[in-house]
Chain A
C-alpha cells in the first residue's frame, strides 16, 4: 500500500515500532515510545547557527598565501564535504520518512536533515568568500573522477532502500529489477536494507565527516584558514549529535525491544555491517592519496590521515558493540579533540575573531583625500 501523508487508520501509537509500522498520522509528542529522539531534537534546536555568524574576512588572504598543492587539498576537502552534506540534506528524509512509524523519530529525522542543509549553505558561504568564481568549485564536483567515486560509496545504500521501498509501496512483495539487479522485495528484505543503510549513514557521519574535519583543522592548527575551521567546528558539533542518533537507532534495532525481527536482521547483517566500515576506511585512505597527490602539508600527510582513519573506525565500531578491525589504537592527531571540543564558550572578544568585536574596529568613513596616493 502506498504512503499516506495522514494515515486515517486507528492504531495505538505507543505500540508502533520505529519503522515498518503504521504511517504516522498525528505529530504528537505528549507520549513517546523512545524519548531519546525528543531529547536529540531539543539539543539540535539549541545548536541552531547560521554560517554568516562566523567572520571569514582573513580566510581570503590566507587562501591566496597557500601553495597550489595546499589549495588543492583545501578545495578538494571542501568539495568532498559539499558532496556529503548534499546527500545528507535530503536522503534521510526521502529514504526513512516513508518507513518511520513514530512521531518523535519522524521529527528527529527532519530536524537532523534540516541541520545538514545549513552545512551545505555554509560551504557556499566559505567558497564564495575565498574565490572570485565560486562556480568553478561546484561545477568540478560533478566532473571530478575522485569525487564521483566517493559519491557512489555514500549514496548507493540509500538509493537501493529508496528503490525497494517504491516497489514495495506501489506493487507489493515480489522480485523486481532494483537498480539493475533482480532482487526479492518483501518486509524482511526491506528491514535488512534499512539496517545496512543506517550503518552506512553512521559510517558517513562518524568516519567520513571526521576525516574531512581533520583536514580542515590541520590548516587551522597552522594558524591559517581559521574562519573556515570555526564553521567546521559548528558542523562537527552537529555531526556528533547525528552520529549519536544513528547509534541509538542501530542499537535499539539490535536489541529487539522495539521490533524482534529487527534483532534477527541485525545479527544476520553483522558481517555486512563490519564490511561497510572496512570498505569506507579503505575508500578514505584512497581519498587521502588523492588529497596529498601533489604534496603533503605541515602536520598532515597520507600516512597520518590513514592512521586517523583506522583510529576513528575502531572507535566507531566499538560504540556499536563491534570488535575493532585495526591494530592502531593511538590517535595520531592529538590536537583533533581540542578543535572538536564544543563546550568552550568564547568569553572575551579579543580571544578570537568574532564579527561583533571587529565591527567597532573598522572605520567606514572614506574621504576623497584617502585616495590621494592611488595612481592609475
Chain B
C-alpha cells in the first residue's frame, strides 16, 4: 500500500486527510448533475420535521385519511392546564406531547414504570399488559381513553 494524498485510510496517520466540511448542497446546483448516484457519490437523506403527536394537522406529513377522531378531555391531578386526547397512538405519548412527563422504561406494557391512577373514565387496551397493574391503575403506554379521563400519580393518592 503506497502513501498517496487520496488514500484516506492510512493506518500510521502519516497523511493528513483533507478537512471535512459540511456545506449545504444547493438543490439547483449544477454540481448535482455531475454526481453519479449509482456509485454512491450521491446519497439521498430524508429529514422528518419534529413531530407533535397531538397536533398532526399542523405538520401534515402524516395522512389522516379523512378520519374524524373523537377528542376526549384528560385531567391529570396537579396539572392546571386542560389536556386532551385525540391523535396520539397511546395515552403516554399524548401526555408527553402536552408536556406531562411520566416515568417510563419499556413503553410496551411489561415494565409497569408508567403505572397511573385512573380516577374517573374508561380506557381501552391496545395490547394485553404484562406488567402487574393494581386495581384502579392503568398503563398509559398501551392504552387509549374511551371517555374523558381523570388521572393521577399513584403515589399522590
Contact = CB atoms under 8 A, between A and B. Distances in A.
Interface stretch (A60-68, A214-222, A239-247, A270-278): A239-247
A365 B1 contact: yes
A152 interface: no
Interface string A218-254: 0000000000000000001100110110011001000
B136 to A, nearest CB: 11
Q: Among B106, B108, B115, which residue has the most Cβ atoms of chain A within 10 A? A: B106
Interface residues of B, number: 29
B132 A337 contact: no
Given A244-B112, A315-B103, A370-B11, A321 B134 contact: yes
A216 to B, nearest CB: 15
A341 B1 CA distance: 45
Nearest to B7: A363
A241 B107 CA distance: 12
A180 to B, nearest CB: 36
Interface string B104-147: 11111011110100000000000010111010000000000000
Contacts of B1: 365-367, 369-370
Contacts of B113: 240, 315, 337, 340
A372 B14 CA distance: 10
Contacts of A331: 103
A36 B134 CA distance: 15
Interface centre among B3, B107, B155 (most CB of A within 10 A): B155
Contacts of B3: 369
Nearest to B117: A318
A18 to B, nearest CB: 14
Contact of B130 (A244, A334, A366): A244
B154 A318 contact: yes
A175 interface: no
Nearest to B12: A373
B26 to A, nearest CB: 23
A365 B104 CA distance: 46
A187 B108 CA distance: 39
B132 A244 contact: yes
Contacts of B108: 343
B23 interface: no
A12 interface: no
Interface of A: 36, 39-40, 43, 236-237, 240-241, 243-244, 247-248, 251, 314-315, 318-319, 321, 324, 329, 331, 334, 337, 340-343, 363, 365-367, 369-374
Given A247-B131, A315-B103, A369-B3, 9 more contacts: A240-B105, A240-B113, A318-B115, A337-B113, A343-B108, A366-B11, A367-B1, A370-B12, A373-B14
Interface of B: 1-3, 9-12, 14, 101, 103-108, 110-113, 115, 128, 130-132, 134, 153-156
